[in-house]
Amino acid sequence: MIYTIRRASGPVKTFAPDAPEWQHANVQKLEATYPENQGGLLDVTVRLLYDDACIYGLYHVEDDSVRALRMKDQDSVCKDSCVEFFIQPPGDGQYFNFEFSCIGTLLLYKVRNCAAGDYDVLPLEDLKTVKRFSQFPHEPINPERQGNIPWNFGFAIPIALLVKYFGCDPKLAGQKWRGNFYKCGDDLSKPRWIAWCKTGELNFHMPEYFGEFRFEA
């Protein structure tokens, strides 16, 4: 599977699907589910853009339950209402797993083999360079909210952070990378796991199943 990351036509300042800057981006729906899911399929879309400074992302989730307890970066945000963006530059197979809770808490490792515990936990000062845009305040959502709850979540990842850890070429135009998109919420009353490229089991850390990201020339 292939997702083309288009070059932003101008500054990316607003993180909402109807904002002018996002009309240029390809919209990717997440539809791959797992037998362990409880409840129906959620409507989840994601779109990416890039420029010389950042890779930008915007998730839109048509949700029916939202919960968030993890307040500190590098907490286990996958247990909360969470969207994830895994990205792997060309090279030795290592990748970043950007895991964002709906309130903006971030977990980020540089992963070699997650199943073997072979990864580096990035320092908090590096996580602070990743900008996050949530419609929810950064405070706990507890008890779980239920009903019709649409929400957006945006992020801006500095290309300098990728260069720092992977030594990749910062001129992204024309490059082909790999990665995946996910939505999860392990501790919700109706946990559901949704992916762009379905992995062979309920384990998002399976890079052999990643799709291809193509940066628009």
Q: In this predicted structure, which of 32-41, 47-56, 120-129, 190-199 has the lowest mean pLDDT? A: 32-41
Q: Find the largest Cα–Cα distance for the chain.
A: 46
Domains with residue ranges and CATH for the chain:
2-215 (2.60.40.1190)
- 153-203 per-position pLDDT tens digit: 999 999 999 999 999 999 999 999 999 999 999 999 999 999 999 999 999
Q: How would residue 206 be classed by pLDDT, with cut points 50, 70 and 90? A: very high
Q: Is the pLDDT of residue 130 over 90?
A: yes
Q: How would residue 207 be classed by pLDDT, with cut points 50, 70 and 90? A: very high
**Residue 78 burial by CB count (10 A; 0-12/13-18/19+): exposed, middle or buried?**
buried
